Chain A
Amino acid sequence: MSTHNDYNFAFIDENAKKEIRRSILKAICLPGHQVPFASRELPIARGWGTGGLQVTLAIIGPDDVLKVIDQGCDGSVNAVNLRDLIHRTTGVPTTFETAQASIIQTRHRIPELPLREDQIIVFQVPIPEPLHYVEPSIEKATAMHAEKDYARMWVSLYEDIVNYGSVTIGASYPVMVHENYIMAPSPIPKWDIAKLNMANCLHLFGAGREKRIYAVPPYTRVEPLQFEDKPFKKEDFSGHVCARCGAGDSFLDEIFDEASGGKYWVCSDTAYCDSRIQKEAAV
Chain B
Amino acid sequence: MNEPVISVEGLEKTYGEGCGRCGECTGPDYNTNVCRYCGSVIALKDVSFELYQGEILGIVGESGSGKSTIVQCLYFDLEASSGLARLFPYDRGKANILTLPQSRKRYIRNHLMGMVYQNPLLGLKGYFTSGGNIAEKLLTADIYNYHNIRTRSARLLDRTEVDLEYMDRLCRTLSGGMQQRVQISKALANNPPLLLLDEITTGLDVSVQARVLDMIKTIQHELMISMIVVSHDLGVIRLLTNRTMVLKKGRIVEHGLTDQILEDPRDAYTQLLVHSML
Contacts and interface: CB of A to CB of B under 8 A. Distances in A.
Interface of A: 143, 146-152, 154-155, 158-159, 161-163, 227-230
Which 9 residue pairs spanning A and B have beta carbons closest together?
A: A227-B146, A151-B139, A228-B145, A154-B139, A151-B140, A155-B136, A151-B136, A158-B135, A230-B146
Contacts of B102: 143, 146-147
Contacts of A158: 131-132, 135, 139, 146, 149
Given A154-B144, A227-B145, A162 B139 contact: no
B interface residue count range (under 10 / 10 to 19 / 20 to 34 / 35 or more): 20 to 34
A147 B106 contact: yes
21 contacts: A147-B102, A147-B106, A148-B103, A150-B139, A151-B137, A151-B139, A151-B140, A154-B139, A155-B128, A155-B132, A155-B139, A158-B132, A158-B139, A159-B129, A162-B129, A162-B131, A162-B168, A227-B144, A228-B145, A229-B147, A230-B146
Contacts of A155: 125, 128, 132-133, 135-136, 139
A159 B132 contact: yes
Contacts of B135: 154-155, 158
Interface of B: 102-103, 106, 125, 128-129, 131-133, 135-137, 139-140, 144-147, 149, 168
A138 B1 CA distance: 45
A228 B137 CA distance: 17
A167 to B, nearest CB: 10
A161 B146 contact: yes
A154 B135 CA distance: 9
A135 B205 CA distance: 33
Contacts of B149: 158, 227
Contacts of B106: 147, 149
Contacts of B139: 150-151, 154-155, 158
A149 to B, nearest CB: 6
A152 B129 CA distance: 12
A229 B145 contact: yes
B176 to A, nearest CB: 22
A116 B128 CA distance: 43
B146 A228 contact: yes
B136 to A, nearest CB: 5
Given A154-B135, A159-B128, 17 more contacts: A147-B106, A149-B106, A149-B140, A151-B136, A151-B139, A151-B140, A152-B125, A152-B136, A155-B133, A155-B135, A158-B135, A162-B132, A162-B168, A227-B146, A227-B149, A229-B145, A229-B147
